[in-house]
Structure 1
Amino acid sequence: MLKKQRILTASALIAVSLMFGSCKSDYEKLKASNDVAKKYREAVKYYNKKDYNKALDLFDDLTQRYRGKAEAEDLFYYYAYTNYKLKDYTSAGYHFKNFAENYPSSTRAEECRYMAAYCSYLDSPNYQLDQTNSSKAIEQLQLFINLYPKSERVADASKLIQNLRNKLEEKSYADARLYYDIGDYLSAVMAFNNSLRDYPDTKYAEEMEFMMIKAQYLYARNSLYYKQEDRYNQAISYADQFTEKYPNSKYLREAASYRKISDQGIKQAKVLVAEASVDSKVAKKLAKKDTTTGQPQSVVGKQNERSPQNQ
């Protein structure tokens, strides 16, 4: 009895093994087949069953064989979507774009043009990373809107563009803030200014305009004394502009403090420059001070920053 059970178990295992082996063999035979019509039918079946990896293998082989044939339009449509379903958005976007360009009269051309742009949108990385793909996606989405201004997809495309612009705005702010944090104050001033120019309606506008005052002050403070007057004056100019533009800002008191110590810095710099003009030892000493960088510090409530003579 035990022997008979073992035989039955072994037979069952062999049958299962043969069944799976046969399935695998059938698929491999299909891949190697020259029956392109059958291969295409089976590829579509795999796609509809959401077995996208097998579908892609078959479609990939068929793209060259169907090129120039009437059935190619359907094939390339499936091929683009198979890549999309597998989350290979770079490849999917490429194939959607090719479809739209190769079949401009197709009823699917609008859809594929949109999907090409959407794939670029999905390929857009976190705002902290390089935003080349984000800019590319904006261009493609805008092109779609220009080509199909009456499309029902225009509203969605516009929302996607705004999302990408928000990301670029975040990137611009973060890059400018990084310059400040590492003590490259001149670059910080320029970056804040550029960001405000590129995104005048940014939610960070008030903060960045205040940060320009701080960065310009610290840039001036770490400069050669004979260069400080002009640079402090620029900090004062930023402070005056800020006060006029944001009379109720939470940064107003601190902005006024930076203005005050910048004015004190100008007076101190003038004295030292005058001394240097008649004393070579003073001139030599002052010539050594020109770092124009340094770790950021808050001037409000810190006695050692209230006058440059204490540096």
Structure 2
Amino acid sequence: MFKIKHVLLLSFTIIALTIAGCKSQFEKLRLSNDTGKKMSEALKLYNKKNYAKALILFEDLSQKYRGRSEAEELNYYYAMTLFKLRDYTTARFQFKSFADTYPTSRYAEECRYMGAYCFYLESPKPSLDQENTVKAIDALQLFINFYPKSERAAEASKYIGLLRAKLEDKAFSNAKMYYELGGYDISNYKAAVVALKNAQIDFPDIKYAEEMDLLIVKSQFAYAKNSIEERQEDRYSEAIGYADEFAESHPESKLLAESKELRKDSEKGIANAKSVLAARKADYEKYKAQLDKEGKKDTTTIKTPNK
């Protein structure tokens, strides 16, 4: 038993010393001034996918290779190592810097593409701010402009399509949010109509066209329904106009029946508003006639409605 324990302890000690030895060799190399050997080892580490250690050496060499011919290859692998480590923000900066510094390099096209691709990878989900998505589209389009015949141009176009779809999702989601908040403030219904129209201007071929057009009708209808009677006729009339536009644009839509129903309800809303206002006017006329009969003046202050 003692012998087995001794052998195991000896084995662990040898392994630990070997690891320590490897570590000390790396540290020794890192601190040395042998740039050629350091570059060679950095490339070996990169090819072995030991990107963390490779980065340490590349970063150290970047200072010593500045202004030298070897800097081109070093900067390429430095940017690629950052990318492999998923530091996309720093990587895209290094890719752009490389492409700008070495525009005729054999790596220039790849680096310009990779810089744009890093923006693509940093594009957030639709519910978040889409600033990086817009920047990614611009960067990918710039790559296509630089290299229209590149094999990567088709891939860049595909990513642009995916990013634009994300912006469409965001635009539709924002407009729906206004509609859903309408119960708290009816002005949100009007804001929904404006947001939906703007989204369709920004994205003429948006995949949500039918849903958005119906939501415009629904938003305008809700805006009219929750308004005071003095404002309802005009607002219901707008809802009817949007319903007619829906029928013209989507004659075969499965949503057409709902749009037609909202149109009918808008017509009823107009009739009801007129009835309420007529009754109100008749009551007022009676009230005024009674005052005249009693020889009194009407001191009622009528405010212009704004809801």
Could you say which TM-score interval applies, normalised by the shorter chain?
0.7 to 0.9
Pairwise CA distance, 1:34: 3.0
Cα offsets for 1:111-133 (capped at 9, x unmatched)? 11111111111111222222211
Structure 1 residues 258 and 282: CA distance shift in structure 2, 3 A: farther
Gaps of 5+ in 2: 183-187, 288-298
Indicate conservation of the 8 Å contact 1:121/1:134, yes or no. Answer: yes
CA offsets, 1:226-282, max 9 Å, x none?
A: 222221111011011111222222222221221122122223333444526937989
| Gap change, CA 1:181 and 1:282, over 3 Å in 2 | farther
Aligned to 2:45: 46
Q: Please say which structure displays the higher CA radius of gyration.
A: 2
1:66 equivalent in structure 2: 65
Identify the match of residue 239 of structure 1 among 243, 247, 253: 243
Structure 1 match to 2:206: 202
TM-score computed with the length of structure 2 as normaliser = 0.85
1:223 aligns to what SS in structure 2?
A: coil
Give 1:1-311 correspondences, 5 Å limit: 7-183=6-182, 184-274=188-278, 275=280, 278=284, 290=307
Question: Residues 200 and 6 (structure 1 numbering): CA distance in 2 closer, same or farther, change over 3 Å?
Answer: closer
CA gap 1:36/1:273 in 2 versus in 1, 3 angstroms: farther
- State, as a whole percentage, how many aligned pairs show the same letter: 52
Structure 1 residues without counterparts, runs of 5 or longer: 291-311
Distance (Å, rounded) in 1 between the aligned partners of 2:4 and 2:126 = 64
- Please tell me the residue identity of whatever aligns with 2:133: S
Aligned length: 287
SS in 2 for 1:182: helix
Structure 1 residue 95: Cα displacement: 1.0
Paired residues of 1:124 and 1:133 also in contact (CA < 8 A): yes
C-alpha distance 23-182 of structure 1, shift in aligned 2 (>3 A): same
The whole-number CA distance in structure 1 between the counterparts of 2:162 and 2:144 is 16
Tell me the distance in 2 between the aligned counterparts of 1:4 and 1:252: 87
Distance 1:117 1:135 in 2: 11
8 A Cα contact 1:46 1:54, kept in partner: yes
In the superposition, the TM-score normalised over structure 1's length comes to: 0.84
Shift of the 267–282 alpha-carbon distance from structure 1 to 2, 3 Å rule, reads farther
Q: Residues of 1 paired with 2:281 and 2:301: CA distance?
A: 5
Distance 2:103 2:43 in 1: 23
1:301 corresponds to: none
Q: Residues of 2 paired with 1:29 and 1:168: CA distance?
A: 51
The verdict on how the C-alpha distance between 1:223 and 1:178 changes in structure 2, with shifts beyond 3 A counting, is same
Query: RCO (CA 8 Å, sep 6+): is it higher in 1 or 2?
Result: 1
**Structure-2 change in CA distance of 1:234 and 1:10 (3 Å):** same
Q: What amino acid does structure 1 have at the position aligned with 2:193?
A: V
| Change in 2 beyond 3 A, CA 1:219/1:11 | same
Matched residue, 2:293: none
- Aligned-residue Cα RMSD (Å) equals 2.4
Distance in 1, Cα, partners of 2:2 & 2:269? 101
**What amino acid is the match of 2:158?**
K
4+ long deviations beyond 4 Å? 2-9, 279-284
Residues 276 and 282 in structure 1, CA contact (< 8 A), matched pair in contact too:
no
